[in-house]
């Protein structure tokens, strides 16, 4: 998860966002002694163990607070964009067209998960569907589609777009300049121009069909509602995002990550000591003692975190009564 990148570092590595260096526990020169055939450099070994520590701690914390979670990971599965039974052909135009989804909730840690998109075009060939943040105009993603004229083509996306405690407007559009499409409406039935084309797709998401000129910046001022989705359909879910919640407390996690990384490096050294030089092998008793020490420090840090981290009480993804469960981890 990107928010934990460079949460701790080491001499010669990237700058640490927390200011903590692993060298305070294990100097880089010591780690160099443990580099064998599994790793090319000490830096590679350290980065691998940092990643391991982050994954482990996230899993443990989610387990510790599991009683605070409302037992529903997916709030709702939805489709935006329904093919017309009339197979009405819509003409090409020098515009980007498609669908805009708006996540309206600002109280919860949510993510928009897109499983797939369908395209129904009168065009055979490759094209790109752009995923745009229409609040900033930033292109978030590019989805490569291999279209077949007159056929509904499903392209699997399997991507997540975070909306942690803020509104998001995310559009899925393609350049219609030379591509005819078949009529596809945002909703299966009903008025397509009411409310400016904006509809409540569920309790947390609204959507609309949109268009904007090819030379325009894709922000709200330049985007207009449209009568159809230009042959585009989206399968999506809104999900509770527990990891984004953990990111909000990453400053508290730097210390346990450092201790757990140090423990993992020494465990690697201990169980692979016969593959290193004899001096390292002689120090196995010392390494074992330090493993126990770092694990003890790690456990103490995690107990402190349990006293300081509070889950949201949004009633959507988290319960309104804060509870946590203490977990004793074994070395």
Phi, psi of 39 (to 5 degrees): -135, 140
Which fold, 82-230? Jelly Rolls (2.60.120)
Q: Which positions ≥6 away from 220 have C-beta within 8 Å?
A: 134, 135, 169
What are the pLDDT digits (tens) for 247-280?
Answer: 888 888 999 999 999 999 999 998 886 665 555 4
Q: Is the pLDDT of residue 197 over 80?
A: no
Domains of the chain, residue spans: 2-69+243-308, 82-230
Contact 247, 61 (CB under 8 A): no
- In this predicted model, which residue has the larger pLDDT, 188 or 204? 204
pLDDT of residue 218: 96
Q: What is the pTM of this model?
A: 0.77
State the Cα–Cα distance between residues 82 and 201, nearest whole angstrom: 13
Question: What does the block give as tokens for 40?
Answer: 């090319």
Name the β-bridge partners of 232: 119
State the Cα–Cα distance between residues 268 and 261, nearest whole angstrom: 11
Residue 238 pLDDT level (bands cut at 50, 70, 90): confident
């Amino acid at each position: 998860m990107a928010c934990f990148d460079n949460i701790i570092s080491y001499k010669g590595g990237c700058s640490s966002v927390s200011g903590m260096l692993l060298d305070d526990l294990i100097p880089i020169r010591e780690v160099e002694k443990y580099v064998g055939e599994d790793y090319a450099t000490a830096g590679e070994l350290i980065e691998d163990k940092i990643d391991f520590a982050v994954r482990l701690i996230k899993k443990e914390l989610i387990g510790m607070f599991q009683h605070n979670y409302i037992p529903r990971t997916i709030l709702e599965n939805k489709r935006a964009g329904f093919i017309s039974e009339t197979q009405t052909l819509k003409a090409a135009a020098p515009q980007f067209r498609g669908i805009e989804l708006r996540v309206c909730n600002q109280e919860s840690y949510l993510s928009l998960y897109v499983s797939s998109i369908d395209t129904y075009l009168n065009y055979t060939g490759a094209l790109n569907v752009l995923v745009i943040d229409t609040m900033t105009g930033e292109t978030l993603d590019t989805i490569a589609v291999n279209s077949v004229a007159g056929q509904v083509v499903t392209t699997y996306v399997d991507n997540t777009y975070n909306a942690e405690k803020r509104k998001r407007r995310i559009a899925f559009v393609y350049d219609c300049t030379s591509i005819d499409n078949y009529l596809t409406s945002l909703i299966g039935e009903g008025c397509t121009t009411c409310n400016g084309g904006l509809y409540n797709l569920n309790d947390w998401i609204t959507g609309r069909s949109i268009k904007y000129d090819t030379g325009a910046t894709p922000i709200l001022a330049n985007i207009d509602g449209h009568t159809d989705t230009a042959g585009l359909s989206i399968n999506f879910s809104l999900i509770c995002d527990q990891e984004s919640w953990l990111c909000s407390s990453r400053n508290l996690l730097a210390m346990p990550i450092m201790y757990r990384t140090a423990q993992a490096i020494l465990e690697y050294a201990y169980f692979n000591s016969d593959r290193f030089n004899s001096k390292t092998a002689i120090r196995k008793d010392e390494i074992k003692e330090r493993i126990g020490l770092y694990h003890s420090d790690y456990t103490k840090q995690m107990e402190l975190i349990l006293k300081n981290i509070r889950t949201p009480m949004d009633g959507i993804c988290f319960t309104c009564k804060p509870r946590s469960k203490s977990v004793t981890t074994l070395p």
